[in-house]
Amino acid sequence: MFKFCIWVVVSLPILDLITLAYLNELGANPQEVILRELGNWSLILLLLIFSIPILSKIGLESLKSCRRMLGLWSFFYLNLHVLAFLIFENEFNLRIFLNDLINRPFVTFGFLSFCLLLPLAATSNNFSMKFYGKFWKKIHRLITPAIIFAIIHYFFHREAKGDFSDPTIALIVFLSIWLTKSLMSKLKRKKLISM
């Protein structure tokens, strides 16, 4: 039941976007709203996944069983974000996209984040866990640089507007999670050594 509730909650952003698009209520710049919302939700879910080891220690143990589902939802939003960018910004023209990839840093870092998340999505199944064994965990540690590149992408994207409030919040959340996890890991090692 918990898993189903989480599934419903993370499906709401896309349902909301579809409803607003259908009702023609996305504002003066609907393309920007679609791109922003899809990118934001992908990053929010990545940060949530990254924080699961901490949240499970403070009473949200059930979230561990939702990690794969949340990862796939995040990748779903990311794919829609990339697809929307290719449609709205590049008109599905590979030459324009490659030019953007080379000359626009926000595209470069966004694409790097996407590339790092590809193997995570591809190996989010029981077969891959058994096939890769201990190496599977190393693959899924790519979430850390993927989030870093996503936040850099966010900062570069907001450079034109001079508004860095949202990417700054994302950076603070990421650093808080990363520092807490590092501290937890050190405490765990100390306990193992003292034993």
Question: What is the DSSP secondary-structure string of 141-161?
Answer: TTHHHHHHHHHHHHHHHHHTT
Q: Tokens at residue 161, please? A: 């507007």
pTM of the model: 0.92
At residue 192, the pLDDT reads 61
pLDDT of 28 reads 87
Judge contact between 77 and 45, C-beta under 8 A. yes
Q: The tokens of 93 are what?
A: 């023209």
> In angstroms, rounded to a whole number, what is the distance separating the alpha carbons of residues 160 and 137?
38
Amino acid (1-letter code) at residue 76? F
**Cα distances (angstroms) measured from residue 88 to each of 49, 60, 127:** 29, 39, 37
Instruction: Give the pLDDT means over successive 10-residue stretches in the chain (195 positions).
Output: 89 95 90 95 97 89 90 96 94 92 96 96 89 87 96 93 92 96 83 55
